[in-house]
Chain A
Amino acid sequence: MTDTQISTTGVEAEMTLLTPRQIFRKRLLSHTGFLIGAGLIATIALIALFAPLLAPHDPYAQTLSARMLPPIWAEGSNPDYLLGTDQNGRDYLSRLIYGTRVSITIGIGAACIGMLIGVTLGVLAGYFGGIVDHAISFLLTAQLALPGLLLAMALVFIIGPSIWVVIGIVGILHWTYYLVVTRSATQRIRSLDFVAAAVASGATPRQVIWHEILPNLFSQIIVIFTFELGIAILAESSLSFLGVGIQPPTPSWGLMIAEGKQAMFYRPWLVVLPGICLFLLVIGANLMGDGLRDITSPEGRNE
């Protein structure tokens, strides 16, 4: 009797052999929230990329005769300036378009730096445990006890403001979420038998971490990344609003809000328009993160 054979009868052939990647793709495309979020982010990224082609004016060009023009739908507008102009007579639409560049660069850059720090520490703490875990957990507690925005302001003030300094500082201050999540996920994965099997085959901790653990953290990291993207963009705006972020005349949405705030009651669009842009970008990132979390969560895995 050929008892140890796996048959290839119709029973098995009808089993739909979807790879994890195919299932992932299928679920991505059926999640409305994710699609909206990803659509927003993609649109904003394209605007940032093609800003010179899209902007109707030079964002730095001042036309002092046309200051504080209202947007096209309001009274006294100039059809040349679709969304009006600011205090220095610069085209608001062009500045908003160029502002996407700053926001996207800082968002991605800072989220990447945070990821590098947080994931490294989280994996080390989760894998080695013991004294390493204690030390890293202390670092986490210390970081959480620091008033982030004040520290960022102080640092920028000392080092001197530039876009790269802002990216670095926002990134260095936003790694705790990565750490918490990857640490507990690593602890869980570390206790699974495939890690023991790798160790029994002579794998060093470094090989185990790279080959067995990190690939399994991928989905969590991606989700946190999108959330941190939103948070970093808001942090940049806050810093710019407070005057220690992006320096004028570079167009940044936070800075535009800050510049518009004196005239806020008479010219509300100066504040509302960049606010809407920020809102769209951050909600896009968050919807994308929420969607990714739903799509990669284990409860839905057997769908």
Chain B
Amino acid sequence: MSKLLEINNLSVTLPLPGNTLHVVRDVSISLERGQTLGIVGESGSGKSMSALALMRLLPRSAIADATTMQLDGLDLRTLDDRNFTRQIAGPQIGMIFQEPMTSLNPVYTIGRQMTEGAVSRGLLSGKQVERKAIDLLERVGIPDPAGRMSQFPHQLSGGQRQRVMIAMTLMLDPTLLIADEPTTALDVTVQAQILDLLDDLRRERQMGMILISHDLAVVAERSDDVAVMYGGEIIERGDASGVLRAPAHPYTQSLMLAIPHLGMAPGRLGAIPGTVPSLVSPPKGCIFAPRCSYRREDCTTARPQMRDHDGQHSYRCVLETPPTRHAEVIPLRAAGTPVGQDVITATNINQVFETRKALFGAKRQIQALDDVSLSLKRGETLALIGESGSGKSTLARILLGLAQPTSGQVRMLDRPVAELAPQERAAFVQPIFQDPYSSLNPRRRLAEIIARPLQLRGEKDSKVLKQAVGEALDIVRLPQRLLHAYPSQLSGGQRQRVAIARALVTRPAALICDEPTSALDVSVQAQILNLLDDLKAEMGLTCLLITHDMAVVHQIADRVVVMLNGKVVEEGPAQQVLKTPTNDYTRNLLAAAPRFEMTNAEVAS
């Protein structure tokens, strides 16, 4: 039997005024029925572009080219756009997108959106199509499917919308399902459910599936085959356990070292030096060579061939045998820093939001925080864990003094926070935000951004400011030449460093970090987590870390507070809570967290 999908030498170029971006180069993938191919890579690696090229959803000016592009023996390249839309996109290939909040049209009912495709193609009659839609909604686990048909997208939660999206793509019974980061926008417990559902459906219907994700653990758990992409090329591919448990390419190896693993003792992460290559002029040699620690002279002269590793598994590298990895774990620098007294304490915090439907409508109350008490001790890293809607960000805003609680008290420096002047508070605690793209003013140069907190304190001497900014850049390991750059010229990781530099320029005693790494790639996350470790070791920094990622908690937290629906449900030393959780919710969270079943022994071998 022929393969379900076969693509050879796919390349995508994006002409820009002045130059051309080579976003995908020479990508070959193949997929059997009933199998899952995982494509992993950091942002900008070309993984989504490859899928979009297959679906003909590329940006208008992009040019895709391949030597083979066959679905079920049919050459997709010979179809014109009209026939492609009628015969392939939908009936043959279904696609699920990352953002369930925007992938459904808000002005149409669920029912109409689900039946539209089948009816317009004349595949089924009105009655049949409705029956089928209800069956599918039931299959994907939507309660009261018949009632849901007349509802609008805003009446569903994010996880439910993603289920509806999945049901919708199944309406036309595709033979291939492309899931582009299907769970990235969802909570961990929901993520596990959605991935289980996709797995079951694939098996039931013998569909092929392409699972695109930046999360190696997700791909490791859910795929048969894996392709690792970097800079628009596939640099390693093979069976999932082979590629992700015993990676052969130096890039995949470094990537695995950059991820905090739940199963291992926390240690320094292996960050990959340098930045993702620009795709304007592809190098002659190996795409990873500039950042590779095994670089040789012949790396840059010619592009290495795909090299067979052990039958199932091949990689693109000049090394004949894959390099052996460092087995030893370098301990964290800040491990065992002494913990002092309470610096911030919150007692019995309640936060109630009132909303009105209309000007004279009835009031509705939402209890965002329900009698929350916690304390942050000098020198410790306290992780605040919870899913979206648990109130963790609301609590952070209250601790920062950006919002006032309905009742309860926050004490800082042994004084109620309400008594502190804004400047005193600012000198004591500073925030780091999740999205480094919105946390820096795009119209200001880095020097101005970093110096701003000092200026607000009344510092006018330009010499003092310049020196403080220079020191702050050194602390976060950014080169001084970036002083006059604008945020738009920096990568996400560099921006997050700038945000940290701005927070540290006033030498605060504590940082409140709201998901500081969840918008970043794993290799960049490793740099930031290592940086936080350095800061803790060098400055004795106190840190409240808000996160949903258990592996990050495991990596740097000393103590953990778990929140659910505005209440604290569990609190304790990090390693203890992660190993032996006492609360059911914590147990669920831990069970749902995707992980590599890897032990210390396996890594060493």
Contacts and interface: CB of A to CB of B under 8 A. Distances in A.
A215 B290 contact: no
Interface in B484-507: 485-486, 488-489, 494, 499, 502-503, 506
B274 A3 contact: no
Nearest to A10: B290
Contacts of A200: 400-402, 426, 429-431
Contact of A3 (B277, B278, B527): B527
Contacts of A65: none
A207 B426 CA distance: 15
A10 B277 CA distance: 9
B433 A196 contact: yes
Interface in A152-201: 192-194, 196-201
Interface string B498-542: 010011001000000000000000000011001100100000000
Interface in A119-151: none
B271 A4 contact: yes
B425 interface: yes
Interface size class of chain A, counting residues whose CB lies under 8 Å from the partner chain = 35 or more
Interface of B is mostly: loop
Interface stretch (A11-19, A46-54, A285-293): A11-19
A65 B506 CA distance: 81
B443 A2 contact: no
A14 B423 CA distance: 42
A196 B534 CA distance: 26
Q: How large is the interface on B (under 10, 10 to 19, 20 to 34, 35 or more residues)?
A: 35 or more
Given A6-B477, A194-B441, A12 B499 contact: no
Contacts of B441: 194, 211-212, 215-216
B477 to A, nearest CB: 5
Contact of A193 (B273, B401, B435): B435
A4 B290 contact: no
Interface centre among A8, A192, A193, A216 (most CB of B within 10 A): A193
Contacts of A2: 273
B603 to A, nearest CB: 16
Contacts of A197: 431, 433, 439, 499, 502-503
Nearest to B276: A11
A191 B586 CA distance: 32
Nearest to A203: B456
A211 B270 contact: no
Contacts of A30: 17
Contacts of A17: 485, 489
Interface in A1-47: 1-12, 14-15, 17-20, 30
B489 A19 contact: yes
B432 to A, nearest CB: 9
A119 to B, nearest CB: 16
Interface in B396-442: 400-402, 421-423, 425-426, 429-431, 433-435, 438-442
B456 A202 contact: yes
Interface in A210-253: 211-212, 215-216, 218
Contacts of B434: 193
B303 interface: no
Given A6-B494, A7-B291, A193-B435, A198 B452 contact: yes
A197 B441 CA distance: 10
Contacts of B457: 202
A7 B289 CA distance: 13
B390 to A, nearest CB: 20
Contacts of B269: 3
Given A4-B534, A6-B494, A12-B275, A194 B440 contact: yes
B278 A215 contact: no
A75 interface: no
Interface in A89-142: none
Contacts of B275: 6-7, 11-12
A201 B489 CA distance: 24
Given A9-B290, A9-B291, A20-B486, A201 B443 contact: no
A80 interface: no
B444 interface: yes
Contacts of B444: 215
Interface in B351-407: 400-402
A199 B477 contact: no
Contacts of A215: 441, 443-444
A42 to B, nearest CB: 25
Nearest to A19: B486
A216 B274 contact: no
B146 interface: no
Contact of B425 (A10, A14, A202, A212): A202
Contacts of A199: 402
Nearest to A215: B443
B290 A211 contact: no
B291 A11 contact: yes
A193 B290 contact: no
B482 to A, nearest CB: 9
Interface in B434-477: 434-435, 438-444, 449, 452-453, 456-457, 477
A193 B441 CA distance: 9
A36 to B, nearest CB: 19
Contacts of B402: 196, 199-200
B268 interface: yes
B344 to A, nearest CB: 14
Most buried by B among A4, A5, A7, A11: A4
Contacts of B506: 201
Contacts of B531: 4
Given A6-B477, A6-B478, 8 more contacts: A4-B527, A5-B273, A6-B275, A19-B489, A198-B452, A202-B456, A204-B422, A211-B441
Interface of B: 16-17, 268-271, 273-275, 277-278, 280-281, 290-291, 330, 400-402, 421-423, 425-426, 429-431, 433-435, 438-444, 449, 452-453, 456-457, 477-479, 485-486, 488-489, 494, 499, 502-503, 506, 526-527, 530-531, 534
18 contacts: A3-B270, A6-B273, A6-B274, A8-B479, A9-B274, A20-B442, A193-B438, A196-B431, A197-B431, A197-B433, A197-B499, A200-B430, A201-B453, A202-B422, A202-B423, A202-B426, A215-B444, A216-B443
Closest 6 CB pairs of A and B: A193-B439, A202-B422, A202-B426, A193-B433, A201-B453, A215-B443
